[in-house]
Amino acid sequence: MRSILVANPKGGSGKTTLATHLAGYLASLGRQVVLADLDRQQSAAGWLERRPAQLPTIHSHHASKKSVNPDWMVIDSPAGLHGDKLTAAVKLAELVIVPVQPSAFDMLATGDFLRVLRKEKAVRKEKSQVAMVGMRVDPRTRSAAELADFLLAAEFPVLTYLRDAQLYVQCANEGFSLFDLPPGRAARDVEQWQPLLEWISAY
């Protein structure tokens, strides 16, 4: 089993959005996928409960321990992840994705987190690969330019910037991912995901 950890200690950074759509993408490929929701709010678990039965199956971490031999586990980590829990989570994940929104508060919190992340043994020894994703980005704004500068200085690959689209809200409400929708409806957003998906497939 391969694992993807979506992590940022800042609440509301976009972890659940990334985790649910990644799980949906992997399931759309016919993979056995487990979605582990470690956050107190259980937003990813709620999304999974709303997911229509006719869509590709994504298993809950709690319900699948005995019945599923997964190819992938996608982990939606809690806000405030640090210390021994962060070390354990990173050690178990081949891939770590850090979402960041274009705000001063998000960049400050993420900067502190990245300094800690670089010191993790699994990251230093390159057993865990780390990459960054900009979330809810409007490229026309000054905050987007500031985010781009911040990410370029982060010393980890910057994979893509995802726009702030109402389609993500609709998917969250209905238990869908972009990869469950008709291609014409989600084409613009799926295109933005391609660098991230190619990065995952490379490992």
pLDDT at res. 66: 60
**What mean pLDDT do residues 25-40 have?**
95
Would you say residue 6 has pLDDT above 70? yes
Averaged confidence pLDDT in the chain: 93
For the segment 55-109, what is each residue's pLDDT rounded down to a tens digit? 999 999 876 556 678 999 999 998 888 889 899 999 989 999 999 999 999 999 9
- Which range among 19-28, 79-88, 161-170, 182-191 shows the weakest confidence by mean pLDDT? 79-88
Q: Pick from 104, 203, 113: which is nearest to 155 by CA?
A: 113
Phi-psi label, residue 158: left if phi above 0, alpha if psi -120 to 50, beta otherwise: beta
Phi-psi label, residue 65: left if phi above 0, alpha if psi -120 to 50, beta otherwise: alpha
pLDDT at res. 63: 62
Would you say residue 174 has pLDDT above 60? yes
- Residue spans per domain, the chain: 2-201
CATH architecture of 2-201: 3-Layer(aba) Sandwich (3.40)
* pTM of structure: 0.94
CB atoms within 10 A of CB 125: 8
d(CA 105, CA 101): 9
Please work out, in degrees rounded to the nearest 5, the angle formed at the alpha carbon of residue 46 by the alpha carbons of 184 and 21: 35
The fraction of the chain above a pLDDT of 70, given in percent, is 98
For the segment 131-168, what is each residue's pLDDT rounded down to a tens digit? 999 999 999 999 999 999 999 998 899 999 999 999 99
